[in-house]
A and B are shown apart, each in its own frame.
Chain A
Amino acid sequence: MSEKALSGFRITVLLIISAIMIATGIEFYNHRNFKEGTVAGPSVTSVKKLSDYSSIMKGSVNDTNVYIIDSGKPGGTALILGGTHPEEPSANLAAELIMGNVKIDSGKIMIVLRSNKSASLVTRPGDAYPLYYNIKTDWGSKKYRMGDRWSSPLDSWPDPEVYVNYPSGQLLAYMDIRNFNRTWPGRLDGLITEKTSAAFIELIKKENVDIFIDYHEAELEYPVISTIVAHQKGSDIAAMSSMMLTATEFKIGMEFSPPSLHGLSHREVGDFSDAVSLLFETPEPFLDRVRGKTNEALLLEGKDEFVMRAGEAGLLYEQIDENGWHIDTRVARQVASTQMVLDTWSDFNPDKEVRMTSLPTYSEIRENGVGSYLLNPSDYDKNLIYYE
């Protein structure tokens, strides 16, 4: 190739690459800056920021909204976290459903929709994750950012060779320094995810949180699934809730939080505060490694022939059939489990009751769909809209 032809080739290639870079760059930029308009429900009495409890979060991407529903009557305080792992959408959707629809007779509930917002600002293009997902509602569809398990490397980079959990000293995988469910109880001078955990511990202590619930989803290949993982302080509540739910609504197990497994909320929140810590897991076939086409339909409908085939081969810890695990069912499980756990907590602790009413039942959410319970931002005053 002559020098002149080579120069022309260089410019052509650079133009094509620049076009690809601009097109993808715009997509990534828009995803990172996409705002989810969320209505503070009629029962919400105030909305605070995480930095109101811990100044280290001031100006941070993870200075998330904390929705507070205070009955004004004596009772206990519950903290519900959605969005710990933003690739598990039933978590933030269940938190939003409760925040928008709940009424409480006693005590106080604090709800966070995007606990690790940074992780919701990035996806896994290499795993073919969609950038967004849409939930059908009576007033159109509501668009959400699809996220990842780990905080964005744009907010925390580079990772160490090995992540050493503080203060346990337990060695964990390098990227888990960005995993919000491996950084508990956190470190005030650590990286952003460790700081977020530390800030939540400060919130829990300042608000005297009695019961802490962390929503999650799991692949069917993973043994900790369809269960409530409980710190020993909450084993009685989890066991009773598991029995009652299994007898009346759906099958759900109960597992003890291993005392030597550090960094997870069900262990460290219980160890480092007075709160009882529980973690809920629902099945999400989208996360299974043997899944087929990875798209929004799989994320929301939870149907996959390859995961089904793995089940037929006895490789799964949860059942799956042609009906899959629809997002409505997964959200319904989270909401019904929360209702049962808080009812049980209130029965066991009459001086610290947190009584929720008016939430849709498991059957109603499955029948009507989670979208039926999402509030339309255009129906409400701008002062009631918060951005996640």
Chain B
Amino acid sequence: MDFINSIVNICYYLLSAFVAFVLLRNIFKSKKAQEIVLYSVMLIPFVLRVLHIK
């Protein structure tokens, strides 16, 4: 169980990193100021999680 959970844990971190990447890409692709702010705010928890801070 410990091993399986470690694999799932790594997958979740990869997912977080992927979502962070998609948000960052959308920040640069979006033409709407409101969306840029929205994606930027959403980015915070994903980056902090990937960096193992929060």
Q: Measuring CB to CB, which residues of chain A are less than 8 angstroms from any residue of chain B?
A: 1, 6, 9-10, 13-14, 16-17, 20-21, 24-25, 28-29, 32, 154, 157-158, 187, 189-191
Which one, B12, B27, B37, B43, contacts A158 given CB within 8 A?
Answer: B12
Which one, A6, A13, A17, contacts B31 given CB within 8 A?
Answer: A6
Given contacts A6-B33, A13-B36, 5 further A-B pairs with CB under 8 A are A1-B33, A9-B33, A17-B44, A24-B44, A154-B54
Report the Cα distance A158→B11, complex, angstroms: 10
A28 touches B48 (CB 8 A): yes
- 28 pairs of residues in contact across A and B, judged by CB atoms under 8 Å: A1-B33, A6-B31, A6-B36, A9-B36, A10-B28, A13-B27, A13-B37, A13-B40, A14-B27, A14-B40, A17-B40, A17-B43, A17-B44, A21-B44, A21-B48, A24-B44, A24-B48, A25-B53, A29-B53, A154-B52, A157-B12, A158-B8, A158-B12, A187-B1, A189-B1, A190-B1, A191-B1, A191-B5
- Cβ-closest chain B residue relative to A26: B53
CB distance from B38 to the nearest CB of A (A): 10
- Cβ-closest chain B residue relative to A190: B1
Which one, A14, A28, A187, contacts B54 given CB within 8 A?
Answer: A28
Report the Cα distance A93→B17, complex, angstroms: 39
Which residues in window 1-51 of B have CB below 8 A to A? 1-2, 5, 8-9, 12, 27-28, 31, 33, 36-37, 40-41, 43-44, 47-48, 51
CB distance from B25 to the nearest CB of A (A): 12
Report the Cα distance A28→B45, complex, angstroms: 12
CB distance from B18 to the nearest CB of A (A): 15
- Cβ-closest chain A residue relative to B3: A189
Report the Cα distance A21→B33, complex, angstroms: 20
Given A189-B2, A190-B2, verify A17-B41 contact (CB < 8 Å): yes
Report the Cα distance A9→B23, complex, angstroms: 16
A20 touches B44 (CB 8 A): yes
CB distance from B41 to the nearest CB of A (A): 7
A-B complex: 8 closest residue pairs judged by Cβ atoms: A17-B40, A28-B54, A25-B53, A189-B2, A13-B40, A189-B1, A28-B53, A21-B44
Residues of B near A14 (CB, < 8 A) are 27, 40
B5 touches A21 (CB 8 A): no
CB distance from A105 to the nearest CB of B (A): 43
Residues of A near B33 (CB, < 8 A) are 1, 6, 9
